[in-house]
Amino acid sequence: MRVTLLQAYELLINGDVVAVPTETVYGLAASLNRPSAIDRIFQLKGRPQNNPLIIHLSHVSQVSSYVNQYPPDFEALASTFWPGALTLVMPIIAEKIPASVRAHLPTAAFRIPQHPLSQKLISQTGPLVMPSANLSGKPSSTHWKHVTDDFGADFPILDGGICSKGVESTILFYQEERWSIIRLGAIVPSAFLPILGYEPQIEKPKNGEAPLCPGQMYRHYAPKAKLVMAKTFPIDGKGVIIGFSDRKYPSGYRVLNLGKTSDPNTSVKKLYSVLRQLDVEGIVTAEVDIDFPQEGLWLTLAERLWKASTQGVVA
Ligand code: TXA
Ligand code: MG
């Protein structure tokens, strides 16, 4: 059920949960000051308690009430990329943030979203926690209808149109005197070079160790359909391909297209809709054309596809 900005505000300050648009993906929002609403987010999503939430702010000065000290380059990162698709994980003053939000970690994640509706809303409500507005493990929502598909027709949603980025924020974490990327996202690693003087390393979970980004432990973004990664397609093959509009595929295939091979922005923006489309149509298996460069935003696309695939095997 679509609600107005005023209704969204009233629901949130009264301790309800509302779906809110951001430029990355829709979020399931609760006020940081409403513990029961925060608990409800975990229940609604079926989200494990050990997966912390991002705190969304409307102004950078708000961070100062949660941290003792900014890590190096925090101000430069914030002034360059906020509002926007960057999340920064920092050590915090633990008692200032509910343990459920930070999953009992000594750190918390912060972001200032850019979407005008989320900005306006947060400036009225104060800090909101917002995980992506999808059932845990499923593809994220980039349109209000996706939220309805997951949480029902009566669930309150602030309609902000199609998310302009369509993929989650990039998450940076400061450790051992450097920022590193603990989740790939809408901002590419090279964008940080001019600000930091180095390109942050992409952290991969190490064998047997808990990942720095707890969400990386779980299968994610996954449709019911089995996804099979492929670079070639037999001439007599048939079925469904998630592919590109400027490529020719054998005639037996139906193609769900992610846009052109020259335009990764469009491909990441369309990804979750296409993955959700598979389930709407009850498609059991889809092949995915992964013949694209392993760089820039394509890396984010590759990572999402990898996590969404049942078996994660490149064929
Ligand atoms: O673009 C986005 O970031 C969206 C929109 C709604 O803002 N939000 C989003 O939230 O993607 P979620 O909950 O789906 O993913 C947040 C990720 C999780 O993988 C979580 O483990 C990680 O952020 N995270 C949150 N707090 C953290 C912390 N203190 N340390 C490390 N990772 C953290
Ligand atoms: Mg998510």
Give residues with Cβ within 8 angstroms of 280, minimum separation 6: 149
CA of residue 235 to ligand 2 center, whole Å: 37
Q: How far apart are CA 117 and CA 98, in angstroms?
A: 25
Ligand 1 atom nearest to 140, measured from its CA: 14
Q: Which ligand places an atom closest to the C-alpha of 185?
A: 1
Query: For residue 268, which ligand has an atom nearest its CA?
Result: 1
Helices and strands (H and E) in the chain: how many: 9, 15
Tokens 């052109």 sit at which residue? 260
> CA 243: distance to chain centroid?
22
The set of residues, in sequence order, having a beta carbon less than 8 Å from that of 232 and lying 6+ positions away, is 291
Q: Give the residue whose CA is nearest to atom 18 of ligand 1.
A: 215
Which region among 184-193, 198-207, 288-297 has the lowest average model confidence (pLDDT)? 198-207
Q: What residue's CA is closest to ligand 1, atom 33?
A: 213
Q: How far is the CA of 168 from the centre of ligand 2 (A)?
A: 8
Average pLDDT (122-141) is 97
Residue 274 confidence (pLDDT) above 50: yes
pLDDT in tens, 70-91: 999 999 999 999 999 999 999 9
pLDDT at 313: 37
Percent of the chain scoring above 90 in pLDDT = 90
* Ligand number, closest to the Cα atom of 131: 1
Residue ID of nearest Cα to ligand 1 atom 10 = 131
The whole-angstrom separation of Cα 261 and Cα 139 is 22
Judged against a pLDDT cut of 50, whether residue 272 lies above it is answered with yes
Q: In angstroms, what is the span from residue 88 Cα to ligand 1's centroid?
A: 10
Which residue blocks in the chain are alpha helix, DSSP H? 5-13, 35-45, 74-81, 99-102, 116-125, 144-151, 193-196, 264-280, 297-308
Q: In this predicted structure, what is the pLDDT of residue 310? A: 64
- pLDDT band of residue 219 (cuts 50, 70, 90) is confident
Burial label for 249, CB within 10 Å (0-12, 13-18, 19+), is: middle
Bridge partners of 19, per DSSP, are: 28, 157
The predicted pLDDT at position 312 comes to: 43
Ligand 1 first shell, C-beta below 6 A: 22, 24-25, 27, 51-54, 87, 89, 102, 105, 107-109, 111, 113, 130-132, 168-169, 171, 183, 212-215
Nearest CA to ligand 1 atom 29: 108
Question: Which atom of ligand 1 has the smallest separation from the CA of 168?
Answer: 1
What's this model's pTM, rounded to 2 decimal places?
A: 0.96
